[in-house]
Chain A
Amino acid sequence: MAQTSTRPRSFQEIILRLQTYWAGQGCAIMQPYDMEVGAGTFHPATTLRSLGSRPWAAAYVQPSRRPTDGRYGENPNRLQHYYQYQVLIKPSPPDLQQLYLGSLEAIGIDMALHDIRFVEDDWESPTLGAWGLGWEVWCDGMEVSQFTYFQQVGGHDCKPVSGELTYGIERLAMYVLGIDHVMDMPFNDPDAPIPLTYGDVFRQTEEEYSRFNFDTADTAALLRHFEDAEAECEAILSQPHDDPKTGNRIVMAHPAYDQCIKASHLFNLLDARGVISVTERQAYIGRVRALAKKCADAFVQTGAGGYAVGSDSAA
């Protein structure tokens, strides 16, 4: 099923092979979303496109930020900024598990030598109002991917159901390449004229952001930004569906969703700064979820979300 028997030699080769593989399976290879997000799921190509009736198939790398996971570049496998590889196919094809296993072969994991397991792990995103059932995929006891059949997003039932695959690329690559510390991992080919390690590329930023996230980020400003994003999101969504200038029906689900993403990331930053108490935490999550739900409501009112002209709701 896979084209390659050779082992990849670098982090980027693994990404390239995943790109090639999923392109070969018919996915649109998209680029990362140009905003700070905590996980690939937040990319509108997943969150919004998993809604509505229109078929969809996309794959992309998404830089993801988890401020609380910053370790100044010292921890062998914890980073505040890392990459996720994300695949979303709607409706989920019947052979999605086989397709997924094919992707592991493509990056050099020999199915005859390794022990691959699908271990129950139900996924839930309280901030997105989303949940699904699936597994974490184990390779020789290590979690290498999350495999989820979306059931609900933004409070809407997913019909049809999307199949979502998420690979933590650093961890997976370290395993495939046999590297013990993420910073030692070859980023480009070790024989390139200028060989670069992951550390060459990211150690500096891990240090800087760790300090910023934990100690420097201005919490008062963050709180203000959070409120602003929340207000902006609601203001966008309160606009009439028909654009007075063009006369066209333009529901602004995506601009509103950008504000929702912003609020979510600001919440993560506030959390890392330790200024959110346990009780407040739930309240903040609830506020982000409320935004996500409204954005989902708006998206199913768009053409891409399956809205057909002349109908009153999603098709």
Chain B
Amino acid sequence: MPDLLLELFSEEIPARMQAKAAEDLKKLVTDGLVEAGLTYAGAGAFHTPRRLTLTLDGLSAESPTVVEARKGPRADAPQKALDGFLRSTGLTKDQLELRDDKKGQVWFARIEKPGRSAEDILAEVIPAVIRDFPWPKSMRWGAGSLRWVRPLHTILCILTDDSGARTVPFAIDGIEAGDTTRGHRFMAPGAFAVTSFEDYAAKLKRAKVILSAAERAEHIWNDATNMAFASGLEVVADKGLLAEVAGLVEWPVVLMGEIGEEFLDLPPEVLQTSMKEHQKFFSVKNPATGRIERFITVANIETADHGATILAGNGKVLAARLSDAKFFWENDLRTVRDKGLEGMAAGLSEVTFHGKLGSQADRVARIEALAREIAPRVGAKPDLAAEAARVAKADLQSEMVGEFPELQGLMGRYYAQAAGHDDGVPEACEDHYKPLGPGDAVPSAPVSVAVALADKIDTLTGFWAIDEKPTGSKDPYALRRAALGVIRLVLQCQVRLSLINTLSVSYFSLVVGLGRRDHHYYSRSITTASPEDGEDLVTAWREHPLCDILLADKISEAEAEMIEVKLLGLEMEIFDEDVKKHEQAAQALKELRSRAELADHLCGAFLLPMLDEDGNELPESVDFQHMLKSENYFPVWRYGAERVSTDLLAFLHDRLKVHLRDEGIRHDVIDACLAMEGNDDLTLLVKRAEALSDFLKTDDGENLVQGYKRAANILAQAEEKDGVEYRFGADVKFADTDAEKALFAALDQAEAAANPALEAEDFPAAMRAMAGLRAPIDAFFEAVQVNAENDILRRNRLNLLHGITATCEKIADLSRLEG
């Protein structure tokens, strides 16, 4: 049983790709070998900046011989068929054997596939793996055609057994596999031969290469913590950085240096980020003060001056970087103290959020309006939530965040404090981005929750309105993450919110905001449009940002009519001073009118910036709830709002299903609850689903559902047969048997207990009450024939069954449960 050692030695592999590449190498090679019939006892994968290494022990020396019996034609088949079979197997007739088969005697060929040596198989599998290696990005070099992450220099590939080591013979793109490798680039650059994995690892270590990344990381961490401890300090743990740094060196040498006194007053996160992002330094903290006072860098070389030159150089680079950071910090502080965060945020109107969704300032205004709406639902003061929303994105304009985008939010908190905000506003600046991923913490402070929800809902509504939904693996705007964020915020904070209502408000806010902003541009376009055929007018509408937002797939007859009426009224208003222009525009609009979709944009977009239902100018602060409820108010918008919010709710429901499935709730349980009214209140929805999920785990629950299903089936069959629906109240006076009477009584009792519980949203209590129906239902089916001869009895029983199913369906739509 030989052992395999494979090393692919190249120029420096990006640190972030190494670990996966080593695992890929192991998987692809072992899969290939197993497929070719080899087995192995154990496998190990290693990586350094310059090498990927695979070791397999207990590899079979050859693949087994495989004998296959292939079935041919029947003995009495025509000669042609037999000839064909002989050709395909390469055998002669006397090598075949006749066997008895169900349909008589059949020719069988015995085909033997001889085993192959491990060498042969390796020489075939490894080059194939190298050629098709799944690097995230690969390249060519020199005049060759091979692709690798960076130029591949040597391949070491040996099989070692009791008789010694031998090279597996193969070559790829001119690189011959051999038995040599090289040590550390600077400290031991010479080539050397190895005879086994143990020999390889030991010689590498002598040549200043630690093969195992875990060992390098451990070494770094030990040295770093010891060094810091000796000075009474501690290293700020950072697993990601540790893994990265371990991937940048073959021979880690840990060095600790000082941070200039003048930089120690910078926020610790700034020091940490600057040092980590630019220089891959660890931060060293004084546990007494919490201040970061030193840095740790990891060199790849031992030097005669014990790293003094290296440390001095790194310190110099750090000082230059921190000078920049300090400069940014002081400038930003000056800005917010002089002009407030609003002053800092002023430039956001110049920053495009998305071509069709306006600037960051437009977005902030929308989030503010939405946060105000949401605030009462999460226990925040509307004015505070609005204030927080107004300033939450100001730090995007700070110099510090310009340099370190990853500090967005955090710098917002610092600057909000510096500008004198309090009452949860600074925290909201930091936390409104959260949760960023499934593992990220969910904020709980009311102001933060209001802004965080508004932020995400605005993102979702906006991209839904312009039809930029995620598809398959493509989700460039991280909308799935935003949706999950909404779900987690709502559930964790037990927010009671009609999402349809909130999403509609969000949509209105989008349309009003952009419409207002572009109103001047827009009315100028229409009043200056002069061409005879009105094409410029069309272009103006087409280019209006709201075109896309108000774009509806189709509009109803009534809506089309409504739009026409509005259009006529509008053009009169605008052009009444200039008759000629009016005529031109009327002609243009006539053409437009035939294109209902465009007219839709036209009407909605044109109305919104200025008029309310009474024809008055919209106030600065729009009452969106009123707008939503009002019957004759901008039907075009309501149409859009309905389209976007319904579709978005379905998306949120999908994400919720995934989320709840991860929490162990069956998808059919969720479906049963989704079918209930009020399903846009996620807190209520989940409360119901959790109760039902628990209930179904009990015997009572399971049996009640069985009883329900039996009742529903009988009812459905009867209704289909009779062509009527049994929806009348059953009358106990037609109850014929004790079981029937008992069921009537039980139903009354269950309803009496369940209804108030449902009213109070105490689903477990309601379900417990329903569980009382189980025994009477069972007894009823035991004792009573529903389809009685007597039609009155039969109908009464069917109506009773309906009473039962209807009551049960107050919990959830149990018909959607499986099994």
Measuring CB to CB, which residues of chain A are less than 8 angstroms from any residue of chain B?
76-77, 91-94, 97, 111-120, 122, 132-135, 139-142, 149, 151, 158-161, 163, 175, 278-279
Contact (Cβ within 8 A) A140 B317:
yes
CB neighbours (8 Å) of A135 from chain B are 12
Complex Cα–Cα for A120 and B49 (A) = 10
Closest Cβ of chain B to A136, distance in Å, is 11
How many angstroms from the CA of A160 to the CA of B142 in the assembled complex? 6
Q: Any chain A CB within 8 A of the CB of B143? A: yes
B319 to A, closest residue via Cβ: A180
Query: A283 to chain B: closest CB distance in Å?
Result: 12
- Pairwise interchain contact A140-B12, C-beta atoms closer than 8 A: no
B139 touching A151 by the CB < 8 A rule? yes
Task: For the complex formed, measure the closest distance between the CB of A109 and the CB atoms of chain B, giving whole angstroms.
Answer: 10
B730 at the interface (CB under 8 A from A): no
Are A118's CB and B11's CB within 8 A?
Answer: yes
In-complex Cβ contact of A112 among B299, B300, B304, B352 (8 A): B304
| Chain A min CB distance to B517 (Å) | 16
Q: Which of B138, B248, B318 contacts A117 (CB 8 A)?
A: B248
**Whole-angstrom distance between the Cβ of A56 and the nearest chain B Cβ:** 12
Q: Which residues of chain B are within 8 angstroms of A134 by Cβ–Cβ distance?
A: 150
Contact A94–B142 (Cβ < 8 Å): yes
- Asked if B301 and A115 make an inter-chain contact with CB atoms under 8 angstroms apart, the answer reads yes
Residue on B nearest A160 in the bound complex, by CB:
B143
Note all chain B residues with C-beta closer than 8 A to A77.
Answer: 320
What are the 3 tightest A-B residue pairs by CB atom distance, in nearest-first order? A140-B313, A120-B14, A118-B12
Q: Is the CB of A175 within 8 A of B313?
A: yes
Chain A residue with Cβ nearest B253 = A115
Distance between Cα atoms of A46 and B257 in the complex (Å): 41
A161/B310 contact (C-beta < 8 A), A94-B153, A113-B303 known: no
A-B contact pairs, 30 of them (CB 8 A): A91-B141, A92-B141, A94-B142, A111-B186, A112-B301, A113-B309, A113-B310, A114-B309, A114-B310, A115-B300, A116-B186, A117-B12, A118-B11, A118-B12, A119-B12, A120-B14, A120-B16, A134-B150, A139-B313, A140-B314, A140-B317, A141-B297, A142-B313, A149-B150, A151-B139, A160-B142, A160-B143, A163-B141, A278-B351, A279-B352
B137 at the interface (CB under 8 A from A): yes
Task: Tell whether, in the assembled complex, residue B304 and residue A149 are in contact, meaning their CB atoms are under 8 Å apart.
Answer: no
Asked if B70 CB lies within 8 Å of chain A CBs, one says no
CA distance A112 to B12 in the complex (A): 19
A95 (CB) vs chain B CBs: closest residue = B153
B residues within 8 A CB of A117? 12, 248-249, 300
Measured CA separation A111–B299 after assembly (Å): 13
Whether a CB of chain A sits under 8 angstroms from the CB of B355 is yes
Query: DSSP class of B's interface residues: helix, strand, loop or mixed?
Result: loop
B111 interfacial by beta-carbon distance below 8 Å: no
| B534 → chain A closest CB, angstroms | 27
Neighbouring A residues of B241 by C-beta, 8 Å? none
Residue of B whose beta carbon sits closest to that of A180 = B316
Question: Which has the most chain B C-beta neighbours within 10 Å: A92, A132, A175?
Answer: A92
Contact between B12 and A92, CB atoms less than 8 A apart = no
The reply to whether A122 and B137 contact each other, CB–CB distance below 8 Å, is yes
* Complexed CA–CA distance, A159 and B186 (Å): 31
Contact, CB under 8 Å: B141 / A141: no
Q: What total of chain B residues lie within 8 Å of the partner, measured CB to CB?
A: 41
**Of A94, A160, A278, which contacts B151 at CB under 8 A?**
A94
Bound-state CA distance A142–B318 (Å) is 9
Flag whether B305 is at the interface (Cβ < 8 A): yes
In the complex, the chain B residue whose C-beta lies closest to that of A120 is: B14
Could you mark each residue 294-337 of chain B with 1 if its beta carbon is under 8 Å from any beta carbon of chain A, else 0?
A: 00010111011100011011101110100000000000000000
**With an 8 A cutoff between CB atoms, is B444 at the interface?**
no
Most buried by A among B141, B299, B301, B303: B141
Q: Are A140 and B141 in contact (CB under 8 A)?
A: no
B352 in contact with A278 (CB, 8 Å)? yes
Residues of A within 8 A of B316 (CB): 142
For the complex formed, measure the closest distance between the CB of A146 and the CB atoms of chain B, giving whole angstroms: 14
B279 at the interface (CB under 8 A from A): yes
Which residue, of B16, B143, B297, B300, has the highest number of chain A Cβ atoms within 10 A?
B143
User: Which of chain B's residues have a CB closer than 8 A to the CB of A115?
Assistant: 299-301, 310, 313
Q: Does B140 contact A (CB under 8 A)?
A: yes
| CB atoms of A91 and B139 under 8 A apart | no
Q: Which of A135, A140, A279 has the most CB of B within 10 A?
A: A140
Report if A91-B301 is in contact (Cβ < 8 Å); known contacts: A113-B309, A116-B186.
no
Asked if B15 lies at the interface with its beta carbon under 8 angstroms from chain A, I say yes
**Does the CB pair B310–A140 fall under 8 Å?**
yes
The residues of A that contact B139 with a CB separation of less than 8 Å are 132-133, 149, 151, 161
Name B149's closest neighbour in chain A (CB-CB): A133
The closest CB in chain B to the CB of A139 belongs to B313
Min CB gap B106→A, angstroms? 56
The interface residues of chain B lying within 8 Å CB-to-CB of A159 are: 140, 143
Question: Which of the listed residues A115, A119, A135 has the most CB atoms from chain B within 10 Å of its own CB?
Answer: A115
A119→B355 CA distance, assembly (Å): 35
Residues of A within 8 A of B248 (CB): 117, 119
In the assembled complex, which residues on chain A have CB atoms less than 8 Å from the CB atom of B313? Answer: 114-115, 139-142, 175
A144 to chain B, nearest CB (A): 10
Supplied contacts A159-B140, A161-B140, 4 more A-B pairs, CB within 8 Å: A94-B142, A114-B301, A114-B303, A142-B317
- Select from chain B the residue with minimum beta-carbon distance to A133: B139
Interface string of B338-355 (1 = CB under 8 A from A): 000000000000011001
Q: Shortest Cβ distance from B778 into chain A, in angstroms?
A: 69
Q: Which residue of A lies closest to B11 (CB)?
A: A97
| CA–CA, A249 and B142, complex, Å | 30
Q: Smallest Cβ distance from A57 to chain B, in angstroms?
A: 13
A274 and B314 alpha carbons, distance in the complex (Å): 35
With A113-B303, A118-B12, A120-B16 as contacts: A92 and B310 at CB distance below 8 Å:
no
**A201 vs chain B, min Cβ distance (A):** 23
A122 / chain B contacts, CB cutoff of 8 Å: 137
> Which residue from B12, B14, B151, B301 sits with its C-beta under 8 Å from A149?
B151
Contact for A92 among B142, B304, B351, CB less than 8 A: B142
The answer on a CB contact under 8 Å between A112 and B186 is yes
Provide the B342-384 mask, 1 if CB < 8 A to any CB of A, else 0: 0000000001100100000000000000000000000000000
Distance A279 CA – B304 CA, assembled complex (angstroms): 54
B149 CB contacts on chain A under 8 angstroms: 133
Residue pair A140, B309 in contact (C-beta under 8 Å): yes
Give chain A nearest CB distance to B504 CB in angstroms: 30
A115 to B303, CA, bound (A): 9
Contact B309 A141 (CB under 8 A): no
